[in-house]
Amino acid sequence: METDEARERADGAAGPEGLSLPARVVVAVGVAVVTLAVAVHLTMMFLHVAPPNTVSKRHAAEIDDYVYPEFEQNWKFFAPNPLQQNVAVQARAELTGPDGRTTVTPWADLSARDGADILHNPVPSHTRQNELRRAWDFYAGTHDAQERPSGLRGRLAEQYVRRIALSRLGASQDGRPVERVQVRSVITPIAPPPWSDEKADTKPVYRVLGWWPVTTADLAEARNR
């Protein structure tokens, strides 16, 4: 029959004291890494949601790089102003043939392509989930009703959307290079549920941008994507 002293020795061997010195070092390092990671995460999220202050202003770029897109705070899902529209981004290209004549491709639904890649995918790409959506939000937030950009951010938004469209359409099609790209959004209001008395016009609304010439830098960026 096992004595109390033997049981105590067995219990001690099963605890941290029973580990070898290398094992104790590994456990200590693991605990320190996890503690540091949790501290950094909580600090970044606190600075992100806290009112603007000296630290958050000075390190705004680093905080945004950490938070977006995985930890983005998006309240559009919740009342009182839930998102009630489906926004699709589409693009088409102008091609130049060997004879110098130009042709225009049909509109390609880039949002639908992303949706098809995400559907039934247990680990969808963050690029497919967020890149196009956030790029269009960036553009819409930096341009007025006449598509005039608001300073440098607006011009950067145009470049960003143009290069995403070019990378999705391809720098050439059937050996014909892309000379220009055009982007539009299709906003479709979501119909109210059958039990609701609310009336809504579900006719799509189009926002068509002008043609953007494709630059050498755009082509280089598209090839690197």
Q: What's this model's pTM, rounded to 2 decimal places?
A: 0.65
pLDDT value of residue 224: 74
Joined together, the tokens standing for residue 99 give 């004879």
Query: Nearest-5° angle of CA 68, CA 74, CA 77?
Result: 150
What are the phi and psi torsion angles at 181 (to 5°)?
-130, 150
pLDDT at res. 1: 47
Domain range list for the chain: 4-67, 85-224
45-96: pLDDT as tens digits: 898 888 888 888 888 888 888 887 667 666 655 555 566 788 999 999 999 9
Cα separation, 115 vs 69, in Å, equals 17
| Sequence-separated (6 or more) residues with CB below 8 Å from residue 215 | none
Torsion, Cα 212 217 222 225, to 10 degrees, reads: -140
Supply the DSSP string of the chain, one letter for each residue: ---HHHHHHHHHHHSGGGS-HHHHHHHHHHHHHHHHHHHHHHHHHHHHHSPP-HHHHHTHHHHHHHHTTTT----TTSTTS---EEEEEEEEEEEE-TTS-EEEPPPEEHHHHHHHHHTT-SS--HIIIIIHHHHHHHHHHTB-TT--B-HHHHHHHHHHHHHHHHHHH-SEETTEEEEEEEEEEEEEEPPPPTT---------EEEEPPPEEPPHHHHHHHHH-
Question: What pLDDT does residue 144 have?
Answer: 92
How far does CA 208 lie from the centroid of its chain?
Answer: 23
Which residues in the chain land under pLDDT 70? 1-17, 69-70, 72-83, 225
pLDDT at 13: 52
Contact 84, 167 (CB under 8 A): no
Show Cβ contacts of residue 111 under 8 Å, excluding neighbours closer than 6 positions.
Answer: 87, 88, 89, 90, 132, 133
pLDDT given at position 56: 85
